[in-house]
Amino acid sequence: MRISRYLQSISCPFCLAVILALAAHTASAEGVWEGVFNYQKKMADYGHPEAQVKLGEMYEEGHGTEQNYDIAQQWYQKAMEQGYALGEEKLLQLEQRRQREAEARKRAEQQRIASEKAAQERREREKAEAEERAEQERLREEQLAREAEQRRMAEERAAAAAADKAKEEERERLARQRAKEAIEKMLATPDGLE
């Protein structure tokens, strides 16, 4: 458990006993962290570099308080200024952590932007495809309408041609009938004339 590991790292046995006694009276882990934080804050305020580093760690991790890298850096700096080597080491580690997190945020932002760009391109592509399909459908309907009009006109021409042919056939039939009647009439009269 992270709390017990942290408690083991506290420098003085008396301090550990005080914190453990406080932890016994506190039911939640948050209460334990608050107690540890308050104790380390008092010790850090008195100028103990070990407590300053521990307090910096608590700010860095957000144990017993809000996470705040700037305040953590200030406590590490105070410990380093007193010649405590761990303070300098923690400053370097904090800077590396900030860089890693900044890089991770940058990568996440780049991925978000790339994802949004891909989604936008997909939406634009789908829109263009839908417009293309609509245009093709419109052109197909126009082609079908033209073909239907051409068929209608062809049917009208065929009907007109059939009507013309029927009229011509009727004229020819009537002409043949008149000619036949005329021949029959000529044959029916003795001298072929009236």
DSSP string, 139-185: HHHHHHHHHHHHHHHHHHHHHHHHHHHHHHHHHHHHHHHHHHHHHHH
DSSP assigned state of 65: S
What is the band of 1 on the pLDDT scale with cuts at 50, 70, 90? very low
Q: Do the beta carbons of residue 39 and residue 19 sit within 8 Å?
A: yes
Nearest to 75 by CA among 51, 50, 56: 56
Rg of the chain on CA atoms, in Å = 52
Give percent of the chain above pLDDT 70. 82
DSSP assigned state of 26: -
pLDDT at 7 over 90: no
CATH class of 2-83: mainly alpha
Q: What is the pLDDT of residue 17?
A: 56
Residues 6+ apart with CB under 8 A from 193: 186
Whole-angstrom CA distances from 116 to 103, 124, 130 are: 19, 12, 21
Whole-angstrom CA distances from 100 to 67, 85, 104, 107, 130 are: 17, 23, 6, 10, 44
User: Which of the residue ranges 1-15, 32-46, 99-113, 142-156 would you say has the lowest mean pLDDT?
Assistant: 1-15
- Quote the pTM value: 0.53
Q: What is the pLDDT of residue 135?
A: 94
Q: What is the pLDDT of residue 133?
A: 95
Positive or negative, the CA dihedral 135, 137, 141, 143 is positive
Q: Do the beta carbons of residue 37 and residue 63 sit within 8 Å?
A: yes
For residues 170 and 93, which has the higher predicted lDDT (pLDDT)?
93
Q: What is the pLDDT of residue 142?
A: 93
